[in-house]
Structure 1
Amino acid sequence: MQTLKIGLIGTGYMGKAHAIALRAAPIVFSLPAQPVCELLAEVNDELAARKARELGFARATGDWRVLVDDPDIDVVDICAPNFLHKEMALAAIAAGKHVYTEKPLALSATDAQEMVEAAEKAGVKTLVGFNYIRNPASQLAREIVASGEIGELIHFRGRHNEDYMTDPSKPLDWHAQRATAGAGALGDVGSHILNMAEYLAGQRVSEVFGQLQTVIPLRPLPDGGGVGEVENDDQAQALLRFDRGLIGNIETSRVATGRKMGLAYTLTGTKGSILFDQERMSELQLYKHEGSKARRGFSTLLMGPEHTDYGAFSPAPGHGLGYNDQKIIEIRDLVEGIVGGKPLYPDFREAWRVNRMIEAIERSHAEGRWVRVEGI
């Protein structure tokens, strides 16, 4: 069987999730090629060697550039902080490697565009880790919308709220600095709901009107030597206009007390509606405006083997999937895209759209007006 040798950069939470998915995907799915955990890069040789043993990689290096230039590596998998995505991806593209990276693609739309153009000129394949669209429940929601089952879509409401920075005593880190993270909650978790909006609706966001807020403006420095300024948003919201008449809104936060994985959406159509909450990720709420008025109400659809991708994990409905299963589906798509020629979504070009929406919302907040995404 053909192999795809993977070079993983970064072994934090996301790096571990990628490693789990790389090893599990060939068990869950019948793949056209075998992903091989070949080389792992971390900030120094000692950490790299330890993580390679833990995560099942054959080799290790303390220099990501060595990984990128290694002739045996087919795919460079980037799980490093946001500010490193561009440099690492461009180096990988120059070396002729396919690139799989976490979101957001870059710190700015300009950087993202440069990455898109480099990848397309080199003819390499790209994939960006907006993994929540791989959930069978959200795949089902998209199918229902596309089929016209709930009629014409007239409103989208989405949120991605979490509380990982609610505690004001949490030290300042790279997430709160423009030079290392770019946008704050809007870029970190808001990028997911912006991508989800276009994925579900099958329409493009054309204009936005945004509002941003930094709730905790100062945080303790990690070394205990005073406080530092938080340079990006803790929460944001935006009105959306889509290119085929749909309207909607999104909100996002990293200080939403009590929200742990608060990605949720409502899709309202002329014949029905869909509700979803990722904290109950194997359930979809469906309402159909038909039949007896005395019997109208939302029905709970439990994901099962009848739904896209679920059956590869379990033959029984209602047992549910987990976060890492979405990453396993993502790896399946990566392998089938590179070896089987299937379209990869979202690739760098699609992820660039998310960067443009983020910047349009930031510009709207700064200028107090509607901003067109195509103008970014």
Structure 2
Amino acid sequence: MDKSSSLPQRPLGVALIGTGFMGKCHAMAWRNVAAVFGGAHHRLEILSDATPESAEAFARQFGFARATARWEEAVADPKVDIVSITAPNGMHRPMAEAALRAGKHVWLEKPMALTLADAEAMAATAAAYPGQVTILGYNYLRSPAFQAARGLIRDGAIGRPVAFRGVYDEDYSADPLLPWSWRMTHEGGGLGALGDLGCHLVSHMLALMGPVIDVVAQTQVTIPTRSSPDGPKRVENEDSALALLRFASGAQGSFATSRVARGRKCRLQWEVHGSHGTIVFDQENMNELWVHRAGEAGFVRHLTGPGQPDFTAFCPAPGHNFGFNEQKVVEARDLLVAIAGGPNSGPDFAQGLDIEKVIHAMAASNGAVIRIEEQKP
């Protein structure tokens, strides 16, 4: 199916809340999605940030018509059809629920929520407003190499999947001199490495392997206190986590994530072992997919190119690399397709709840087996 043929043909109004790294990614995606995939050029109506001064400055930089320091104003604006939320984790639930109740579609960055109870409430709210589309910012699902890997597994290229091994490591918190921040608290950040990084790995895992039914895990706080202007403060959430999993299919899995892994920048790496082959992917080399099939001597390297989903919309030549921000443009396209009545590629809030169940089970395990309510495939 050509998703681009199902895009809205009338311009929709967009509000953006938040102007950090992901806010800029959303702004670029909204400015580029029509140029890449066609359809209407959507209106950048209003931008919200913490202060009037910063909101005005970023509205000019990002190309939004208006600015406000009150996110409630952006959500309620009658000219707005879609709300992009890239604010800190603790604001995800109130902002998303307010947007849904105001009749808006919602593009929300991960993690979905601070707590499992919040995620359950958000999924229930979304279900109560079926006319509004929700999508979560799991952009790594949009890379052509990952989409190709998912297709190979779905089509039986490596036989029956029997095991998953995955790692997502970064080192942004490895320096013990890094100051304390809200990200290291349950109230502001929720989970630590699991919420920042591990949820991405879980999104890949569920898409490739199906539902998880059992989890046993351990978490660790490597640097228990951090400096702050008010003196040393305790780090409340995990720096790393390790887990073993059982999938509903009977396959097994291993999982590791860390925000204190020295030298690792974006090591979202996994392999799926099948009864007739293996597929290997690493986000730090996101334009390569390695595939082994029974009877071959080793692995075959596949470069991203026009034969993989969504690549040609950006470039007609194989081997010309795809990038992080291109993933966000594909994500914006997928949201627009769903708004126009096409399939929702997700994860929507219901599917996001499945991801939250897994990472919160890992956080709660402490060496005990946690049974997860069986999810729909």
Structure 2 length-normalised TM: 0.95
Q: Is the 8 A contact 2:280 2:291 kept in 1?
A: yes
Measured after TM superposition, the shift of residue 344 of structure 1 is 3.8
CA RMSD of superposed structures (Å): 1.2
Deviation readout 1:31-56 (Å, 9 max, x if unpaired): 3x432211100011111000000011
What is aligned with 2:305? 304
What is aligned with 1:251? 256
**Which amino acid in structure 2 is aligned with residue 56 of structure 1?**
G
Count how many residue pairs are aligned between Structure 1 and Structure 2: 366
What is aligned with 1:101? 108
Q: Is the 8 A contact 2:213 2:374 kept in 1?
A: no
Q: Is the 8 A contact 1:130 1:346 kept in 2?
A: yes
**Which amino acid in structure 2 is aligned with residue 141 of structure 1?**
A
What is aligned with 2:323? 322
What is aligned with 2:232? 227
Hey, what's the Cα distance between the residues in 2 that align with 1:299 and 1:359? 36
Equivalent residue runs for 1:33-48 within 5 Å: 33-48=40-55
Hey, what's the Cα distance between the residues in 1 that align with 2:306 and 2:340? 26
Q: Is the 8 A contact 1:150 1:288 kept in 2?
A: yes
Hey, what's the Cα distance between the residues in 2 that align with 1:354 and 1:161? 18
What is aligned with 1:179? 187
1:21 matches 2:29: yes
Hey, what's the Cα distance between the residues in 2 that align with 1:283 and 1:98? 34
Consecutive aligned runs of 4 or more in structure 1 exceeding 4 Å deviation: none
Hey, what's the Cα distance between the residues in 2 that align with 1:329 and 1:81? 23
SS at match of 1:180: coil
Hey, what's the Cα distance between the residues in 2 that align with 1:344 and 1:131? 11
What is aligned with 2:71? 64
SS at match of 1:3: coil
What is aligned with 2:84? 77
Measured after TM superposition, the shift of residue 375 of structure 1 is 8.3
Deviation readout 1:192-213 (Å, 9 max, x if unpaired): 0011101112x10111001100
Q: Is the 8 A contact 1:126 1:344 kept in 2?
A: no
Hey, what's the Cα distance between the residues in 1 that align with 2:41 and 2:340? 10
Deviation readout 1:344-367 (Å, 9 max, x if unpaired): 4100001111111111112211xx
Hey, what's the Cα distance between the residues in 2 that align with 1:319 and 1:64? 39
Q: Is the 8 A contact 2:165 2:270 kept in 1?
A: yes
Q: Is the 8 A contact 2:306 2:317 kept in 1?
A: yes
Hey, what's the Cα distance between the residues in 1 that align with 2:266 and 2:289? 16
Hey, what's the Cα distance between the residues in 1 that align with 2:76 and 2:217? 42
Hey, what's the Cα distance between the residues in 1 that align with 2:186 and 2:266? 24
Q: Which runs of 5+ in 2 are unaligned?
A: 1-8
1:12 matches 2:11: no
**Which amino acid in structure 1 is aligned with residue 87 of structure 2?**
A
SS at match of 2:35: helix
Q: Is the 8 A contact 1:171 1:220 kept in 2?
A: yes
Aligned with 1:130 (options 112, 134, 138)? 138
What is aligned with 1:89? 96
What is aligned with 2:369? 370
What is aligned with 1:338? 339
Measured after TM superposition, the shift of residue 342 of structure 1 is 2.1
**Which amino acid in structure 2 is aligned with residue 19 of structure 1?**
A
Hey, what's the Cα distance between the residues in 1 that align with 2:342 and 2:278? 35
Measured after TM superposition, the shift of residue 290 of structure 1 is 1.3
Q: Which runs of 5+ in 1 are unaligned?
A: none
Equivalent residue runs for 1:151-162 within 5 Å: 151-162=159-170
Q: Is the 8 A contact 1:35 1:335 kept in 2?
A: no
Q: Is the 8 A contact 1:142 1:200 kept in 2?
A: yes
Aligned with 1:213 (options 220, 228, 232)? 220
Hey, what's the Cα distance between the residues in 2 that align with 1:324 and 1:330? 10
Structure 1 length-normalised TM: 0.95
Aligned with 1:264 (options 263, 269, 287)? 269
